[in-house]
Homo-oligomer: A and B are copies of this chain.
Amino acid sequence: GNSLEPEERSMEPPAVPEEAEEEEEEGAVPLSVAPGPVGCQLFGYVGIEAVLDQMKIKTMKTGFEFNIMVVGQSGLGKSTMVNTLFKSKVSRKSSQPGQEERIPKTVQLQSITHVIEEKGVKMKLTVTDTPGFGDQINNENCWDPIIKYINEQYERYLREEILITRKRKIPDTRVHGCVYFVPPTGHWLRPLDLEFMQRLSKIVNVVPVIAKADTLTLEERAEFKQRIQEDLKTHAISVYPQEDFDQDPEDRALNDRIREKIPFAVVGADQEHQVNGKRVLGRKTKWGIIEVENSAHCEFPLLRDLLIRSHLQDLKDITHNVHYESYRVQRLNESNRPGLSPLNGLPGKGPWHMVASCPPRPQRWARRHRPLLSPALMIHPLPWSPASSSHLSWWQW
């Protein structure tokens, strides 16, 4: 009943049939407000649930950000997996053999941002790749650049949040999910896997997957998964979805089912094949086609559902409410200690939280109808410096 455009008709009384008038002779019917378990009994339709549509329209207008990181040694199909997830070439690599770069001598962080639009919903997707991870003779501390990058994004967000004059919507470059590719050894987690996940799961949502699962037999896969789950438990590594953050029994039931199947044994593919007259994404082998989107063939659909179709918003919420808040608390406590106020190093005269050096708040109506732009590839060699943050200016949220 949207009646924002009523016809301007007479306010004179409508023709009321005599019968109705008669019935009313006894007087108006008082409202019956029965007490009940609900705070307030309604005596008619109000329209509160219209807020859901209002929120939907808003999200469709503004779009949203989603940032994902892929970590694992080279050759585990990270780029192909990301391309398969988002059905587009969102990875830094072309995925064509022969065009790959040489393995870098240190861990490099490379981010690429695309705008993906589907059914009117715009997602600004940033995929951060970590070439060089686990590829060296000595891989000690190879997680450091990754931890540094993740914390830098929290720092950025924090510095925007504490500005006096701040943006209407703070640009969000925080990593919402870190997909960790376990090599399909069929044995146990390696010390590097354990070290990495132990450290990273404290600051980011880690989603481990068994890469290139087509190299494992069904039995090997089941056993490997079992061992990994034991390893994670033994080392108290809490991967996503973390038990601690289940919100209600319903969430818990759903997430328990997911946790049983973690890590997903996945196969990626960005080639299409003809199967039963249909085109499907898959890997063609001498013994048949492995259909990656067929849940009878591999667990890629589980990963896709988790990251995109069922838990995308939750990944963002946990990042904001848990990981970012932890960083913020720690940072403000540090800053509070005398002689240890690194946030004071920001430009501006007052204490760090009162810095007013940001550009004027963008006008709300200027953020609309910007052209959709082609992908921007950002390579930030380490040490990652705030100076390179200028790559964000092409899209001001």
Interface residues of A (CB under 8 A from B): 1-7, 9-14, 16-17, 20, 23-24, 28-31, 33, 35, 37-52, 54-56, 58-61, 64, 85-90, 114-121, 123, 125, 162, 164-166, 168, 213-214, 217-218, 221, 245-248, 254, 257-258, 270-277, 279, 281, 284-285, 287-291, 294-299, 301-302, 304-306, 308-314, 317, 321, 325, 328-329, 332-333, 335-336, 350-351, 353-354, 356, 361, 364-365, 367-369, 371-375
Q: Given A24-B273, A48-B116, A273-B29, decide whether A55 and B313 contact each other with a Cβ distance below 8 A.
A: yes
Query: Are the CB atoms of A52 and B56 closer together than 8 Å?
Result: yes
Q: Given A1-B301, A48-B118, decide whether A29 and B272 contact each other with a Cβ distance below 8 A.
A: yes
> Chain B residues with Cβ under 8 A from A49's Cβ?
118-121
- Bound-state CA distance A394–B174 (Å) is 35
> Chain B residues with Cβ under 8 A from A118's Cβ?
42, 45-49
> Chain B residues with Cβ under 8 A from A245's Cβ?
364-365
> Chain B residues with Cβ under 8 A from A257's Cβ?
4-5
- Bound-state CA distance A119–B52 (Å) is 11
> Chain B residues with Cβ under 8 A from A35's Cβ?
374
Query: Are the CB atoms of B20 and A313 closer together than 8 Å?
Result: no
Query: Are the CB atoms of A333 and B164 closer together than 8 Å?
Result: yes
Query: Are the CB atoms of A270 and B31 closer together than 8 Å?
Result: yes
- Bound-state CA distance A45–B309 (Å) is 11
> Chain B residues with Cβ under 8 A from A369's Cβ?
248
Query: Are the CB atoms of A44 and B87 closer together than 8 Å?
Result: yes
Residue from A11, A31, A298, A369 whose CB has the most chain B CB atoms within 10 Å: A11
- Cβ contact of A14, chosen from B275, B335, B368, cutoff 8 A: B275
Q: Which B-chain residue is minimally distant from A86 (CB atoms)?
A: B46
> Chain B residues with Cβ under 8 A from A55's Cβ?
55-56, 59, 313
- Bound-state CA distance A121–B50 (Å) is 9
Query: Are the CB atoms of B372 and A39 closer together than 8 Å?
Result: yes
- Bound-state CA distance A290–B52 (Å) is 32
Q: Given A42-B88, A218-B11, A353-B353, decide whether A50 and B309 contact each other with a Cβ distance below 8 A.
A: yes
Query: Are the CB atoms of A6 and B296 closer together than 8 Å?
Result: yes
